[in-house]
Amino acid sequence: MNWFQMNEDLTFRKLITGSECPERLKYDFNRNGELRHIDTNEPFVFNYQNSYDGNHKRYQLLGHLITQYVYELLENACKLQKIYIPTDAPDNELRSFFFMSENALTNCSTLVVLLQDKGTFRAGQWGQKTIIHEGLQHGSQIPFIIMARKCSWGVIVLNPNDNFIDLKIEQEHLSLSEKEDSTCPLQLPWIVPKRDSSSPEEHTTYVWDHFISKTTAGNIAFIAHGYGGLVFINLLMQRTLEVMNKVYAVAFIDSTHHTLHQTQGSSQMQAWIWKHCREWVSNSKPLDKSLGFLVKVDCPTVSTGIEKYSLAPSSSLQSIFRYLKNALKVSTKQCLTRSPIATRSKKK
């Protein structure tokens, strides 16, 4: 994948130059989507100066800029639309958002929903540290989006970690001063929750109720990483019949869900999960090798082919889409089998 072609009109350097410390962040993404120093071509180095606080603030700013950069890639390179929620919010309300391909709800037969792990990173990222140290190819969700679009599937990229706005951090993003801001009284409400998105569970349920459940697509698939798996099982419990009827396959990646606990021992739920879900687990065994009883078994479980948790999504990308395509064939065949065959009536 040539990342340079994808973002020919948008470079990370533009965001860096617009920040207050371009000299401390002389980095850009190369043709392989790897973050490299523009002078030395070396990977990112955390220790820029002999000050942990200064280095930490610099790292925070880098993360903030990467978030903005990925957002722009989702819109400009992947052609996704930013959808603000809740839909009834006035213009002055702090809102969350997610990304969706055009006509994903009205003009596609299959819809894929990406549900990330819990952390400080936002929509379009499997892991921010992974982007910084391993590159966009491994840490962003863009390869998954491109793969889905090649299949002519609709895509929804959830933003489950965008739960509140931290006013103090937002202020620090404007300046990378090492001095503490003593003019801000600590009693102010720095953290403001976002309505209907104050938690990953609430965000996902809201997007399901107001968007995903309304799609005309007959087949919905989820790809859920880490805590995202727990969030999906929570959605399954909250909207059981809808999810069971609309979701044909779920690909878990190192999921932290707990089926027995979350489903309260429901045999119906457990049977559905076993039939419609598969989990990829970080393991050194060859890719797709069955792990059997080496891990919790509530659905078929296979290896990612690598032990590194941060690389699990990218390592299992091809395998996951093979699974989704095969599961789609099975689902389509079952629907055709169940559909009544139209015959001519003998009566006029």
Q: Is 344 part of any domain?
A: no
Q: Is 346 part of any domain?
A: no
Q: Is 126 part of any domain?
A: yes
Mean pLDDT of 90-107: 94
CATH code assigned at 195: 3.40.50.1820
**Structure confidence by residue, pLDDT tens digits, 254-274:** 999 988 888 888 899 999 999
**Structure confidence by residue, pLDDT tens digits, 182-237:** 444 444 557 889 999 999 999 999 999 999 999 999 999 999 999 999 999 999 99
Q: Is 316 part of any domain?
A: yes
Q: Is 146 part of any domain?
A: yes
pLDDT at residue 331, as a whole number: 81
Dihedral pair phi/psi, residue 267, rounded to 5°:
-70, -30
pLDDT at residue 62, as a whole number: 93
Q: Could you tell me the residue range of the domain that residue 291 belongs to?
A: 81-182+190-338
pLDDT at residue 184, as a whole number: 44
172 pLDDT band (50/70/90 cuts)?
Answer: low
Q: Is 13 part of any domain?
A: no
Q: Is 76 part of any domain?
A: no
pLDDT at residue 292, as a whole number: 78
19 pLDDT band (50/70/90 cuts)?
Answer: low
**Structure confidence by residue, pLDDT tens digits, 46-75:** 887 777 788 888 899 999 999 999 999 999
Q: pTM for the whole thing?
A: 0.88
Q: Is 154 part of any domain?
A: yes
The total number of structural domains in the chain stands at 1
pLDDT at residue 253, as a whole number: 98
pLDDT at residue 289, as a whole number: 95
